[in-house]
Amino acid sequence: MVELLQEFADAMLLGPLLDRVQARAGGYRLLEHWTQGEFHHDVVLRVEEPGELPGSVLVVSTNCNGGVKEVLCFAEVPERWALWHARCPDVPEFSGELTPLLGQARTRHWFEPCELLAEDARSELRPEYRERQRGGGWVMRAPKRSGGGGG
């Protein structure tokens, strides 16, 4: 069971991982894509034929370049903020009870995800062009709308 999760994770990049899921689990459906800050993505998939997997839902965590950090397996789609609460329980903006985790595989790209949430977390966005996301991490600030009339 866990061996197949590790095989998926060992693809190291999202594209090759999806190819392996296609070949080994009969395909997949993309259910969600959540970002937390600039450098963390959670891609939520439902596999068509779980077979050797302990559940049918995979959460593939990647860095901003599509490098796979972690693959989590669940029976049902986890709630986004409950997943982050499980990762970083001390962050008050995250809450909820995580559905049971059935399997996990990590790669050398993995690092402590809470580090991305600190006030002094690195960013490629200049301070005047970014804002803090719920729970932490930086996102591009929405452009200010001018009050000028058109027509």
- Which amino acid is located at 85 in the chain? H
Q: What is the pLDDT of residue 147?
A: 63
Q: What is the pLDDT of residue 19?
A: 98
Q: Report the C-alpha gap between 81 and 93 in whole angstroms.
A: 8
* pLDDT averaged over 10-residue windows placed end to end, the chain, 151 residues: 90 98 98 96 98 97 96 98 98 97 96 91 92 94 70 51
The dihedral formed by the CA atoms of 24, 107, 74 and 19, expressed in degrees to the nearest 10: -30
pTM surpassing 0.95? no
Q: Tokens representing 120?
A: 């002094």
